Chain A
Amino acid sequence: SQQGEEDPQALSIQEGENATMNCSYKTSINNLQWYRQNSGRGLVHLILIRSNEREKHSGRLRVTLDTSKKSSSLLITASRAADTASYFCATDAGGQNFVFGPGTRLSVLP
C-alpha cells in the first residue's frame, strides 16, 4: 500500500532557482522523512519532521508539514547541479514500517 505520493513526478529547473516538491499521504503519521537518491545508489536521509512540527530547516532545505491536509513540501533553495537526484518522502504510518512514495526526479540544469 502506497502511503506517500510525491508531486510532481519530474521537475527541471535552472541552477540557482528554488525547487519545491510535494508529498501527500493518506493516514495519520508519527513522522515524515525526506530522502535523496542519486542515480542507482542507496537513499540518503535528508530531514525528519515530526507530526507535531510544522516546519524544519537544514541548510538549503526547508520542509513543511500540514497534518490537516496530510501533506508535506520540500523546498531546496538556490539549487545546484549536484542537487540533481530523485527525492522521496517516507512515512511510518502505524509505526510498523516505512512507506515510500514513487519519488520526484529533479534535474538542475547548469
Chain B
Amino acid sequence: EAQVTQNPRYLITVTGKKLTVTCSQNMNHEYMSWYRQDPGLGLRQIYYSMNVEVTDKGDVPEGYKVSRKEKRNFPLILESPSPNQTSLYFCASSLGVGVGNSPLHFGNGTRLTVT
C-alpha cells in the first residue's frame, strides 16, 4: 500500500532532550516536506527536500534540522526542543513540485508535547 509513515504518533518530552521524528515513504517520491499545524495558524512548512541531499528551509525552520540521505526517508530532528515546538507535525511527499503537478501524500501526524 502506498503510504507515508511517521513515527511516533505521540511523543511527550522535556525541554532540551534531543528527539527525532521519522518519516518514510514507499512511493519513490522525489519531494518530501515537514509541516507543523497549530490552532489558528494552519499548516506551516518547516523544511522541504526536492531530492536526495537537497534540503531547503520553509517558513518556520528555526529549531529544526532535517536530512535526506535516502530517497525514502526524511527525518525531522529537534536538537533542543522547547515548549513552543509543541505542535502537530506532518510529513508529506509527492512526485515533485512543479513537475507533473502531483498531489501531496500525508502521514498521519505526530503530536509532540514539550514540557
Contacts and interface: CB of A to CB of B under 8 A. Distances in A.
**Do chains A and B interact in one complex?**
yes
Contacts of A92: 97-98, 101
Interface residues of B, number: 27
Contacts of B114: none
A42 to B, nearest CB: 3
Nearest to B40: A102
A31 interface: yes
Contacts, number: 66
B113 interface: no
Interface of B: 4, 33, 35, 40-43, 45, 48, 56, 58-59, 88, 90, 92, 97-99, 101, 103-109, 111
Given A40-B88, A92-B97, 14 more contacts: A41-B108, A42-B106, A42-B107, A44-B106, A88-B43, A92-B98, A95-B98, A95-B99, A97-B33, A97-B58, A98-B33, A99-B45, A100-B35, A102-B42
